[in-house]
Structure 1
Amino acid sequence: MLKPQYHILKDFQLESGEILPEIKLEYATQGNKKLDNEGNITNAFIYLHGWSGDYTSVENLKSVIGPGKAIDTNHFYVISPTALGAPGSSAPSTSGLKTDFPHYTLKDMVRAHYELITTKLGIKHLNGIMGTSMGGFQALHWAIEYPDFIDFLILNGTSHRISNRMYGMYHLMNQMITEDYGYMNGNYTDNPLRVMEKSSALSFLWSLSPENYETCFQSRSEFLDGMGDREKDAHEWDANDVIWRNKALLEHDLGDEISKIRIPSLVVAINQDQIVDFNFCVRPMHEGLKNSQLFNYDSIWGHYGCVRDVQKAEGAIKNFVKTIYEKEC
């Protein structure tokens, strides 16, 4: 079981110019460190979680990250941080600042982790980064901001841009929350659960593949029960945290900037992903990256297949990582 650790960054300046006197960053590690003669870690690998995750999300990928797996923790020292803005790390809810918490960007999320990696852990170079969904957005920013810091990228269920439909869904989610009477301009005492449940249901209705909705539920009442179960997930979400995170996500469009990325990259995608659309988001990213491979597969779980069915990509990941280090020999 992973054990969380914490690091405080002082006077952290955001891209906006605003300064947070301190931010807390949560993270966990697994695997054994390998050190060079100067005591530097030489086998570091970062896993970056998706929209609703935290440092424990790496455990959902045990089929590809772990002892003897494609990302072998016998060889890699795996670091899984909780993103800036997600509970566990500093966020509107956990900082106590609520709406006074500054709006942050994906670049801010990346730089916070860079500071954690370099100042707290003393790492001067990463073997690789794997980012799932919104974690993949961050991985791309890592590659642009720190191109000489990383050997390879694994981009899992993600893209360099969000589609219009994805933009509309997260924009609507924010609109629903902010217009709800329980939100109280963000100064609520009790989290507005009713609208948070509806926001989660909105996400549920397009996260899976069309086949899943038709074949995994045997009746309308069973389907509604499934949607109700998903609504309960939102009981763990804070309204301000969600709004701030969505605003960072809605700005994600790297455009032609991805052509600057020369780091070897493996793009892992699901054909039935309705959130990160294959034709409008994945394929253009693969074609825009100068040094990428593409592995796509079918999953009835749609976008969630990037976690639930990621074992289908284990061989591709293992071969990709093997070729990276064969080239160095």
Structure 2
Amino acid sequence: MLEPRYHVIKDFQFESGEMIQDMKLEYATQGIKKVDGEGNITNAFIYLHGWSGDFSSVRNLESVIGPGKAIDTNQFYVISPTALGAPGSSSPSTSGLRTKFPQYTIKDMVRAHYQLLTGGLGIKHVRGIMGTSMGGFQVLNWALQYPDFMDFLILNGTSHRTTNRMYGVYHLMNQIIVADPGYEKGNYVHNPTDAMEKSAYLSYLWSLSPANYEECFQTRREFTDGVEDRKKDSLDWDANDIIWRNKALLGHDLGKRISKISIPALILAINQDQIVDFNYSVLPMHGAMDNSQLFHYDSIWGHYGCTKDIAKTEVAIKKFVKLI
């Protein structure tokens, strides 16, 4: 069972120059820890969750991360932190700072976890880092900011940039929230539920494959029931947390810098992913990263297939890890 733990970073400085005196970071561990003669952990593996997850999101990958799996917890000490800006770690809602919480970037998210690993857990090097969706944005920045810190990368349903369509969807989501009368410039007493539900609805409309919307819902009622189920997810969201997170996402564009990454990387991609488009997001990234391998597959789940169909990638991950 995953048990959350916490580490506090003193005087964490953001890329903007702003500072938080006590930055709380949540994380969990699983697997067998191996150390060298000096007590250094030698088999750490980091998993970074997607846009709406936390430390427990690693459970969604239990078909590839666990005892005897592709990422074998008998061999790897798996650390799954909650991202900066997500509840559990310091965020606008959990810190009490609300709109005064510094606007963070993907680089800030990476540097916070770097300080967690090095300062909090005493880790000097990790075997590998895997990230799903927005977690993959962080993995790529890890490779650029700390290229000697890891042996390999696994990029799951992610890209080096936000496409115009992705930018438009998440920018519109922020506009929906800010325009809601209940948002009150971020100083709301009660979370603006209507705006949260509309945001969830918006994200739902492109998270699945086109086929899923037509083949998995036999009637209009079944489809609208699916929408209502997705809206229920937003009950746990905080408006300021969403806005701050989306702004970090919207600033993600590594451009030509992606070609500087020489660390062995496995790219996992879904042919029907509408969020991370195969032709405009995945192929250009693969082409720019000389030391990358690409494994792509079909999933009626679209972007959600990154977790729901992750079992399809197990053999590819096993082969890749064995070569490192």
TM-score tier by shorter-chain length is: over 0.9
Residues in 2 aligned to 1:284 and 1:259: alpha-carbon distance in whole angstroms: 10
Letter in 2 for 1:99: T
**Partners of 2:290 and 2:185 in 1: CA distance:** 45
Question: Is residue 142 of structure 2 the alignment partner of residue 159 of structure 1?
Answer: no
Point out where structure 2 has 5 or more consecutive residues left out of the alignment. Answer: none
> Which AA in structure 2 matches 1:161?
R
Q: CA deviation at 1:128?
A: 0.1
Counterpart-to-counterpart distance in 2, 1:20 and 1:183: 24
Q: Name 1:278's counterpart in structure 2.
A: 278
Structure 1 residue 11 corresponds to structure 2 residue 35: no
Q: Distance in 2 between matches of 1:155 and 1:93?
A: 29
Partner of 1:191: 191
Shift of 1:180: 0.6
1:180-259 matched pairs, under 5 angstroms:
180-259=180-259
Match of 1:313 in 2: 313
User: Which residue in 2 is equivalent to 1:49?
Assistant: 49
User: Which aligned pairs between 1:106-121 and structure 2 lie closer than 5 A?
Assistant: 106-121=106-121
Give per-residue Cα distances to partners, 1:141-195, cap 9 Å, x unaligned. Answer: 0000000111000000000001100000000000000011010000000000111
Partners of 2:108 and 2:8 lie apart in 1 by 15
Question: For 1:59-208, what aligned pairs fall within 5 Å after superposition?
Answer: 59-208=59-208
1:319 is paired with a residue whose SS is: helix
Give the whole-Å Cα distance in 2 for the aligned partners of 1:22 and 1:108.
Answer: 15
SS in 2 for 1:279: helix
Gaps of 5+ in 1: 325-329
Query: Structure 2 CA distance, aligned partners of 1:163 and 1:278?
Result: 11
- Measure the CA separation in 2 of the matches of 1:269 and 1:93: 33
SS at match of 1:27: strand
Match of 2:268 in 1: 268
Q: Determine the C-alpha separation between the residues in 2 that align with 1:233 and 1:261.
A: 36
C-alpha separation between the residues in 1 aligned to 2:126 and 2:99? 35
Q: Secondary structure at the match of 1:183?
A: helix
Counterpart amino acid of 1:242?
A: I
When structure 1 is superposed on structure 2, of 81-90 and 219-228 the one drifting more is: 219-228
Shift of 1:212: 0.4
RMSD: 0.4
Shift of 1:222: 1.0
- Poorly superposed stretches of 4+, deviation over 2 Å: none
1:305 shift after superposition: 0.3
Deviations 1:58-115 (A, max 9, x none): 0000000000000000000000000000000000000000001010000000000000
Residues 207-248 of structure 1 show CA distances to partners (whole Å, capped at 9, x for unaligned) of 000110001111011110110110110000000000000000
- Give the partner amino acid of 1:4: P
Q: What is the CA–CA distance in structure 1 between the aligned matches of 2:158 and 2:294, rounded to whole Å?
A: 12
- Alpha-carbon distance between aligned partners in 2 of 1:288 and 1:242, rounded to the nearest angstrom: 31
1:290: how far off?
1.9
Helix, strand or coil at the partner of 2:182: coil
**1:119 and 1:59 mapped to 2: Cα distance?**
26
The one-letter code of the counterpart of 1:43 is N
TM-score, normalisation: structure 1: 0.98
Q: Distance in 1 between matches of 2:265 and 2:113?
A: 20
Match in the other structure for 1:296: 296
User: Match for residue 327 of structure 1?
Assistant: none
SS in structure 2 at match of 1:162:
coil
User: Identity percentage over the alignment?
Assistant: 73
